Amino acid sequence: MTGIGVKRYAGGRITGAIAAVAAACLFGAPATGQTYGLATMQPGTLAHTTGTSIAKVLKDKGGLNTLVQTTAGETVLIPMVARGEIDLGVANLAEVQAQVEGSGPNRQADLRLIGVIHPLWASFFVRKDTTMKTNADMKSRRVGLGYSAMRTVDMLVQAQLALGGLTSKDVTPVLVPNVMRGADDFISGAVDALYFAFGAPKVREADASVGGIRALDASASPERLAESRKLFPYGYLTRTGPAPLFVGVTEPINVYTIDYMLFTNAKAKDDVVYKIIDTLAKNKPDLVSIAPHLASFNPAVLYKKFDMPYHPGALKYFTDNKMQPVEIR
């Protein structure tokens, strides 16, 4: 991009002519003096805060003038980045996997991973005055399912039900289109469990609205974790205790975790991708000053073992720094 305004359609796409200029900056010109686009979700989301922090650090510390570009959502921005319409993107790994490892015309074969930016913790929440404490306790309870507008969320919900030895047949399904509707249904009493990511304002709203919430413990046996990974192979458990971010956690529990990724297009220049990683790895305090949740950013685990291709510039950085891919455990 050249620093000029970027027009969008209502669906969140930048126009083709401007997109071509945007792509040329990362893919066909030296780093100095260029502007790079970083696609995120809308303001108010965790993704937008993450992207804003990354963009500022790349500009201030790396000399890479990076501009956040908001889109209608991750299903929109991932193809944009894969096609080279915008330079960089951030999204949760489940959305990335669905489009990179998929099949047919919607498969984004030209997307390339740069690295893990932060873990994304998600949980089922219940009213604190209920007896439910683990995922297994949701048996026969009313649980939001379907997520017609967020299909990967439905997959993640069912992966977490599996941690409790449950399937959709073991609960009372209440069809919801998205997590916001699911949260509103929980607040109104239409469902018994709220599914949401920690750190989201909606979780605090639910906590205040119903007189307090409890996050369910996702602890699982190795056999149940294996069942869960048949649905989503890259989920894992993180031991978590009470903290300001973790509304509803009053004692140590295991929380279901997936990773949030930074990615680009196969045509991105190796030296620019290398510099992006190097800049972020050396300037974590600056990232955290803008986005406190990036305290969980860990340069040592930027490189994880996924069945998806990393960009050659990222692989060179990992090799130069003697980094091996971290296994999901």
Q: CATH number for the domain including 238? A: 3.40.190.10
Residues 172/140, Cβ–Cβ less than 8 Å: yes
Q: Does 130 share its domain with 114?
A: no
Q: Is 1 within the bounds of a domain? A: no
What lies within 8 Å, CB to CB, of 82 at 6+ separation is 99, 108, 109, 110, 111, 265
What integer pLDDT is reported at residue 46 of this predicted model? 82
What integer pLDDT is reported at residue 183 of this predicted model? 93
Q: Does 201 share its domain with 146?
A: yes
| Pairing of the two strands 111-127 and 213-215 | antiparallel
Mean pLDDT, the chain, whole residue set: 89
Q: Does 151 share its domain with 102?
A: no
Dist CA 214 CA 234 (whole Å) = 25
Dist CA 218 CA 164 (whole Å) = 7
Q: Does 184 share its domain with 128?
A: yes
CB atoms < 10 A from the CB of 211, how many?
Answer: 9
Provide the whole-model pTM: 0.82
> Which of 42-51, 65-74, 230-239, 275-284 is least confident?
42-51
pLDDT for residue 79 is more than 80: yes
Q: Does 153 share its domain with 271?
A: no
Q: Which of 258, 290, 310 is the last residue of a domain?
A: 258
Domain count, the chain: 2
Helices (H), 164-200: 179-188
Q: Is 8 within the bounds of a domain? A: no
Q: Does 167 share its domain with 295?
A: no
Q: Does 227 share its domain with 307?
A: no
Q: Does 277 share its domain with 200?
A: no
Q: Which of 204, 228, 258 is the last residue of a domain?
A: 258
For residue range 145-196, list pLDDT tens digits in order: 999 878 899 999 999 999 999 999 999 999 999 888 999 999 999 999 999 9
For residue range 83-112, list pLDDT tens digits in order: 999 999 999 999 999 999 876 777 899 999
Q: Average of pLDDT values for 249-265? A: 97
Residues 79/108, Cβ–Cβ less than 8 Å: yes
Q: Is 135 within the bounds of a domain? A: yes
Q: Which of 258, 276, 305 is the last residue of a domain?
A: 258
Q: Which domain holds residue 69?
A: 16-118+260-320
Q: Does 225 share its domain with 141?
A: yes
pLDDT for residue 258 is more than 90: yes
Q: Does 252 share its domain with 177?
A: yes
For residue range 2-37, list pLDDT tens digits in order: 232 333 333 444 333 334 334 444 444 444 568 999
Q: Does 80 share its domain with 128?
A: no
